Structure 1
């Protein structure tokens, strides 16, 4: 009995916090969210729905405006995984007759008959099974179905064909009807804990002016309040109505005077779309196929110039600014090289770790108990000018980088390995100041390890994006650098990305400091 009560309460808490994650944006005039609803809508996709302003809405996986998302929340106390067959099993959603896929089909016919404009999304803390064919069909940046992968084969005699066959027969529809349905489906993995979701809401509430609940208080009244509103018949909320209701409940606090938030994304979080909480967003996602760049030359010819123009404009307008970097490590480093250490700008970074934190170079006082940076230099070849640097803060990448250098970088003479003294891990960097100090230490270590008259420094980084940004701020001290991205499909190897500085001959010069006071 106790376990059943815990499951139900945690499920309600998850749904309520997901509601507030979207509804709080109704208090932000710059948000694209125009309407949010709770416990209303099509069956099995009625937990939360979000409507977007057509003029500012995000685009779906095929570039069409996304007008509305219907979200089904499913929280489990114990971890597990699911696959494509679960979606045709009524027991997966604790139903007796109709499966989640059948209900999605019914919702699609009613709300998205053309297969676009509306998305039906399952958000759960269960993961898609790594060995299930459905996993390969879900886009990492949006969680939406990738039709080119679902229909990558012509017959049913394949993994993709088996998915299509099972879903067609279960729904008793043809291929064209299945294609329309699949285009509207999306899946999100809520990997954060309930406590981490509360911490993220605290940051958001501070931004939009809602009362913040101290972390040392066990009760979080927002969890229950939305169910009280539901009992009163309050199910749908627009901007004006929601603000008035929050004022009546005494939820509106004083504004925090937060800096403007600028987002850069080359991939997308499962349910945290930057457009919903940033004043301006640079969307680089179209240049990528999932995590992989479509054209290697785009790093230098397209992405860096766009990033540079976006950040310089922001930095010239604001002495304090906050960056949300849902982006590759290369872009985080490049962002730092643009708003460099001499820019005179105070930068806060939204750092995703177990939750989402605001990091700055001066956010906490220094702590002697923080991990230091340990360094080891390995001689690979005599009389070779280049230096390779393996910065493994979140995980050890020394073996992978060494193998890559020996196989692919004949001009690398030395390999510099750097790790935290307490060992690599997700919690190895404590805060923004710690990341700032580690970036300082890494810069000094690279300068000492570089041979006299050396060539390029090849950077391999496994670290929080805030650290990569702070290290990028010191790019001038590092000399010419080339960054590498981890290749997720060809495990344990890398692909070359951006080289800095970029010469003036390519249309953009990064060799001269920027005057941000203009």
Structure 2
């Protein structure tokens, strides 16, 4: 292979591996990186683009937020160094007409024209990343901050004359660019320089460690082929240049690259509605997207609960349970689906389950997450004999708010086969803080199961469930579905776009296809 071709291939490999070092951080929920681009951005600074979350972005050496970096990667096959004069020499970057400094000035103008403010005012940096170091005796070495790689302007302008050590730098750059002193002052604030002395093999080793932490497939060191190097160029050929967290995770999933993170846990998400600012795809290993079956929170076709949604949920969770001895689930889903999920990964499934619960942010709840506390509220039980000659039982579980009145109104109007109402409320009263943690939720699920079995008195009555509770509790209750017998779940029109009442959703275990006179096949009030 000709030396020039080898150098080009190694340069591409260097660029690809630097991309993966930054892009892998998109899989780390604690990382400040929000987007990473490849071959996108201003000309000559389009090798890699990194966009940071303003709330978690790094600061430069002045403490000013760095919101975006445009990186030019410069790989050399031999060791070397460079200084301030090389930045005005096109040959330094293998160009014939435009120098690094001219290209940086052009890039600054392009970004400035985007209308988001001057780059130096909005924290945008143009960075040269090379395996060559700054020349030890060159003035540029004393100008570059070892913290951020940016230029210390107070040092550059520490003398007034062009004949001083740093004055010669200002003069050379100013005359080369044909700009005035104030323009140079603004430009140098946007420049940064990075030195990466690692060999390509060392970069691969560091990638292996990062991939292990974030859950990307690792390539054994004894294998010569490293498919990540080529993959990013394949994506480029397909027009995929820019990735946010969700897009990058999806792209990696399609390539079969996602694995369990070291010291972490794969998260499996189920969604039937979407959160505006916290999409499951941004942090989940895999997501079952049931949103298209709904119009906002209202199911489009009543029979989908039984014919489509439950089978898809069962397949998804069964596959996850086979892959993981301890599962972590994120359920941005209707109460019915949370219960159904528990019925699939039931208490005898041999799997421990953690749940992401949205309580003052995102918390991890599990049946063993805390020691029991006798101060936790239990259930206050109320029984109402409505129609003593009817076999079914309707159960109101009002943990977050009291559902008893709405349940009774619906039962009296629509469920003549219900003879008894069982109302379970927290002893401290319903509210968002009525369930303390995962262990508390699991204990309440046990208590509710015992109360229902007592109310049934060994009978085989159908249990109608009306639940207002954290999804973690509903999941744990679903895990005990066998002890409850046959149950039917109901969804309430909380948003007021239907009839402000309940309608049946799913009966478990699945019955035969419902007939026309089955209450479960009635027109859904969950439809607009």
TM-score, length-scaled by structure 1? 0.51
* Distance in 2, Cα, partners of 1:237 & 1:283: 20
Larger CA Rg, structure 1 vs 2: 2
What number of residue pairs does the alignment pair up? 285
* Distance in 1, Cα, partners of 2:324 & 2:377: 33
TM-score, length-scaled by structure 2? 0.50
In structure 2, the residue matched to 1:182 is: none
- Determine whether 1:258 maps to 2:264: yes
* Distance in 1, Cα, partners of 2:364 & 2:213: 12
* Distance in 1, Cα, partners of 2:299 & 2:67: 33
Once the 2 structures are TM-superposed, how far is the Cα of residue 265 of structure 1 from its aligned partner?
Answer: 0.3
Q: Which stretch of structure 1 is more off in the superposition, 497-506 or 267-276? A: 497-506
Once the 2 structures are TM-superposed, how far is the Cα of residue 372 of structure 1 from its aligned partner?
Answer: 0.6
Once the 2 structures are TM-superposed, how far is the Cα of residue 354 of structure 1 from its aligned partner?
Answer: 1.7
- Determine whether 1:323 maps to 2:323: no
- Determine whether 1:423 maps to 2:429: yes
2:407 to 392, 401, 411: 401
In structure 2, the residue matched to 1:466 is: 472
In structure 2, the residue matched to 1:91 is: none
* Distance in 2, Cα, partners of 1:367 & 1:207: 35
Alignment deviations for residues 55-98 of structure 1 (CA, whole Å, 9 cap, x no partner): xxxxxxxxxxxxxxxxxxxxxxxxxxxxxxxxxxxxxxxxxxxx
Q: Which runs of 5+ in 2 are unaligned?
A: 1-22, 38-49, 55-65, 69-113, 116-211, 216-241, 246-260, 515-528
Once the 2 structures are TM-superposed, how far is the Cα of residue 452 of structure 1 from its aligned partner?
Answer: 4.7
Once the 2 structures are TM-superposed, how far is the Cα of residue 25 of structure 1 from its aligned partner?
Answer: 2.7
Q: Which runs of 5+ in 1 are unaligned?
A: 1-21, 41-46, 50-105, 108-205, 210-235, 240-254, 507-518
* Distance in 1, Cα, partners of 2:456 & 2:362: 35
In structure 1, the residue matched to 2:359 is: 353
Q: What pairs with 1:236-315 in structure 2 (closer than 5 Å)?
A: 257-315=263-321
Once the 2 structures are TM-superposed, how far is the Cα of residue 207 of structure 1 from its aligned partner?
Answer: 7.9
* Distance in 1, Cα, partners of 2:465 & 2:243: 48
1:37 to 51, 66, 80: 51
* Distance in 1, Cα, partners of 2:324 & 2:24: 27
* Distance in 2, Cα, partners of 1:297 & 1:39: 42
Please give the secondary structure, in 1, of the residue aligned with 2:318: helix
Please give the secondary structure, in 1, of the residue aligned with 2:405: helix
Please give the secondary structure, in 2, of the residue aligned with 1:418: strand
RMSD of aligned residue pairs (Cα, Å): 3.3
Q: Is the 8 A contact 2:490 2:502 kept in 1?
A: yes
Please give the secondary structure, in 2, of the residue aligned with 1:282: strand
- Determine whether 1:480 maps to 2:480: no
In structure 2, the residue matched to 1:25 is: 26
* Distance in 2, Cα, partners of 1:257 & 1:23: 16
Alignment deviations for residues 360-404 of structure 1 (CA, whole Å, 9 cap, x no partner): 000000000000111110011121010000000000111111111
Please give the secondary structure, in 2, of the residue aligned with 1:427: coil
In structure 1, the residue matched to 2:508 is: 500
Q: Is the 8 A contact 1:32 1:275 kept in 2?
A: no
* Distance in 2, Cα, partners of 1:418 & 1:289: 31
Once the 2 structures are TM-superposed, how far is the Cα of residue 237 of structure 1 from its aligned partner?
Answer: 10
Q: Is the 8 A contact 2:24 2:214 kept in 1?
A: no
